[in-house]
Structure 1
């Protein structure tokens, strides 16, 4: 099929026509044929040693599993769920299901039985391929309901892929090719379920053309990152999330080598043995790396050296954005900081990483400058599941810290009168599965209403200022976007989460949680005896330090927007207690409802002062 590429403004006049591959499978197969003898995928064995997979081997494995799906009754158009952590088998299954003409439906590995029930019912999933027996048990309990569409549950850890490959031995190459031929640009590639911050997850329908069109633009704009000599990354973000899913396909199609890490506790050693050139993460990961380094320095009595080095990195990065650049003195201080501290943090990330991509939430200026100052340029991006994960990303040739970059090719942007970001383009979703009303609410006259508020500069670089639904209007009529305050407070090593409140209230306040992982090192560095997070939430010394973090955050906003009171909660916000989505976004409405009494007490106590 020949299609015309619109530019960033949507103008197709005079643009060249491009023959896009007919499907994701064609895109991936072309890459693996080109890189037949190159290692394109790596996964750890039981001893955490890397096992190498070449392009030819990956293609053969996908074909064998696809034939097994066909042999065991999966028909073209069937929905097959992948209920697993990120791992090599996830990628094989994703492409094998598509090769069989079926539609993969990702399910977060942290999803509960009711969530599995909703997704499999809404998407009409016939087969669930689960990672572990625990996952399988949840899926089986759903399948036991007579109204469930699930007919089979397979288990990766029990050898499901080997069993499928064995079963597919009777299926010919021609039969597989015939199945692949049923898939074209307009075919449904996947149903991705939103993380559900504001209610029941919605199924986002994305076509094969949405992906192949999007990846063509990504490859054009990100060539230094994706096609550099020895380009590689460790993939640890959950593939059930739209960002990781898009990146997986884009990286496979580029020929970049991907290593898989399923266990977050093994991420650092995986990075150090893999030596990736690209780090793909969400802001919380970058915060954790920074905070862990600071706490390690504090435990060794070198926290002042660390903070001095961090300041040099930030100052150096900021100076790069000036016409004169870093002066001689700053260059010398930066060089010393690199020898003392910064190089050690690079080593934690494997020592080779020069690029990083961050999405899902705002990174913040401080961390953006810090990482660029240590030699890792973070290309912050933006998008939603409905925009096929990414609508914007900073470019290698010009990364403006504090922005999410310009739109990717084919994406048009409009800022509404109330500041809401509106998008349209060929990459966007075709609608919500079984939910025409919800689709009509967000797609008006061809424009997708993101619900986010932002502004563009003269270069088209977008800055996100908050969520429209999360905008707080105080009793005095002041509009406050909570994200900036929350990001600044969460940057403090002792803080895990921060939720700013104050809608229809006389002033702004905050709910804060303690980072249980950082607490022991922080206490040790301050000469304080060990305590639990619940005990720390009531300790005057801890509260005094958090007050300082709040005070620092308040310097970035006006008096009317500043936090006048806060409460430290006894426990953290987690996926397990339903306060975070699987992609680690705060379920704000759930938090406000659960801690309603705490919020009332907080305001009552302030009034009584």
Structure 2
């Protein structure tokens, strides 16, 4: 099977269904449709504008904006002009943005919807050409509408080749500076074309785009998947309108991350407490009606493919959604293989695993326990970092840094990070991920980070869920202590948890505890709490920070 490259796929739909709607964008509560013909025309006009602004083939152009139809169009314009896209996270710090723009030597940047856009101003070097998308944003030399009006559509667009550089996706950086992952048209095309066939996604499907398009998973699972399936994409207008937008769109394919799946659950429980919900769900006929209403209230009553990725999701959360008739399919991939890794297919879900390999994707476990991938989706390398590239791509295999096991049925389980394993003061090694997964089954727990390097016993930092913060502290403390004792009874002596430390400050991107893709920064948490943890009272296993 020879897959069409992204621009070839755009041309395909332009010929087959030019007046069908692809993108739907809400503006001030009104929904605006973009057909394939309209997308192509705007992309070609913007490609002409980029060339007129002096962008030469192969130069880099950044995108800093929340999700919108113009993000897709600007990305296609960059491709048509023969340029290289560099997506930026809308939650990145100004310092991180400055690093990426200078490291990738960006010539121009598209600026769109942002929270507190002025906070990003210092991160954009003065020599970078600014183009404002049609939303309130940072001051720019050029605006979207004026450039479209001033330039005719590019008649002959860039002809993509499979192994050229298409985009540089910078990892969110759990430690140190982010690395620029270089991806090719072949990687984009292979992942999207194989996945839409495997998942039987078609033009009848509806996507809802709200997770950062700078992340490989959203770009693969929504942008590229829709480009290859012709499924429609609707965008969220704002955080305030998220719930109503989702209920309006009612997607059939929906992707989220564990922390947001938790928030959706908490929104339901605020209206219908867990004990009452469980009682109602146990009543045969009424239970089905209640579950249907909950799904409708979330806007997921039409969803047939529900995906969770980017971080591990607690088993208890999977069970809760299963109880209301929503099966979350957990998957696993990396920026370095364009998120094309393993996946639990609908109807073939094994909870506790991240699924089986996607088509024509080889997965094996090294003797060290590390998960390795090989497929046409692998990165070309890290931009300007050949040494790091050679450490990650070895003999055609991607070394993920994650440890795992593959069962007899071919399902992959993640057992931890190679570098996350720590050694206690007793010289014993502890893998935090499986233990964190058990702690996270407690519904009072929003997030958990196990640590114990050079300590006598491991301890767990816990961020409480919003629901837990509204409960009587004694009730929460008793439930958590019960969890700690029950878990310790199952663990090896050197793994047993000495303390649960309940932190008052939420872990966020803004305070540096989370990456823009909602992964915990262990090194930041360890540095932040190291002094306090040294003073813990052994007689008080539950400590409120």
Q: Report the TM-score, using the length of structure 2 for normalisation.
A: 0.91
How many corresponding residue pairs?
A: 535
**What are the superposed Cα offsets for residues 446-487 of structure 1, whole Å, 9 maximum, x if unpaired?**
222111111112232211111111123334454433223334
Take 2:447 and 2:171, find their aligned partners in 1: how far apart are those partners? 21
Residues 247-258 of structure 1 aligned to structure 2 (within 5 Å): 247=221, 248-258=223-233
Aligned to 2:220, which of 237, 246, 262? 246
Instruction: Indicate if the aligned counterparts of 2:461 and 2:500 stay in contact, CA closer than 8 A.
Output: yes
Residues 1:208 and 2:185 are matched in the alignment: yes
Q: 2:512 maps to what in 1?
A: 578
Instruction: Indicate if the aligned counterparts of 2:25 and 2:237 stay in contact, CA closer than 8 A.
Output: no
Q: 1:280 maps to what in 2?
A: 255
Shift of 1:264: 3.1
Instruction: Indicate if the aligned counterparts of 2:22 and 2:230 stay in contact, CA closer than 8 A.
Output: yes
Tell me the C-alpha RMSD between the 2 structures.
2.6
Aligned to 2:325, which of 344, 368, 375? 375
Q: 2:139 maps to what in 1?
A: none
Shift of 1:31: 3.0
Instruction: Indicate if the aligned counterparts of 2:22 and 2:35 stay in contact, CA closer than 8 A.
Output: yes
What SS is found at the alignment partner of 2:49? helix
Q: 1:65 maps to what in 2?
A: 46
Aligned to 2:421, which of 465, 471, 477? 471
What SS is found at the alignment partner of 1:362? coil
Residues 344-423 of structure 1 aligned to structure 2 (within 5 Å): 344-423=294-373
Take 2:452 and 2:324, find their aligned partners in 1: how far apart are those partners? 38
Distance change (3 Å), C-alpha of 1:503 and 1:262: farther
Instruction: Indicate if the aligned counterparts of 2:237 and 2:245 stay in contact, CA closer than 8 A.
Output: no
Distance change (3 Å), C-alpha of 1:336 and 1:462: same
Shift of 1:246: 1.2
**What are the superposed Cα offsets for residues 375-430 of structure 1, whole Å, 9 maximum, x if unpaired?**
32322110111111221112234222221111122321121122111112211001
Q: 2:149 maps to what in 1?
A: 166
Shift of 1:230: 3.2
**What are the superposed Cα offsets for residues 1-46 of structure 1, whole Å, 9 maximum, x if unpaired?**
xxxxxxxxxxxxxxxxx2322x321123323433322222111121
Take 1:572 and 1:99, find their aligned partners in 2: how far apart are those partners? 43
Aligned to 2:158, which of 146, 168, 180? 180
Residues 1:127 and 2:108 are matched in the alignment: yes
Take 1:85 and 1:199, find their aligned partners in 2: how far apart are those partners? 24
Shift of 1:201: 0.2
Instruction: Indicate if the aligned counterparts of 2:97 and 2:123 stay in contact, CA closer than 8 A.
Output: no
Aligned to 2:454, which of 504, 516, 519? 504
Distance change (3 Å), C-alpha of 1:60 and 1:573: same
Residues 173-572 of structure 1 aligned to structure 2 (within 5 Å): 173=155, 177=156, 179-181=157-159, 183-223=160-200, 226-227=201-202, 230-247=204-221, 248-298=223-273, 303-308=274-279, 333=283, 335-341=285-291, 343-515=293-465, 517-518=466-467, 522-523=470-471, 539-551=473-485, 557-558=491-492, 560-572=494-506
Instruction: Indicate if the aligned counterparts of 2:259 and 2:446 stay in contact, CA closer than 8 A.
Output: no
Shift of 1:215: 1.8
Structure 1 spans left out of the alignment, 5+ residues: 1-17, 145-149, 313-332, 529-538
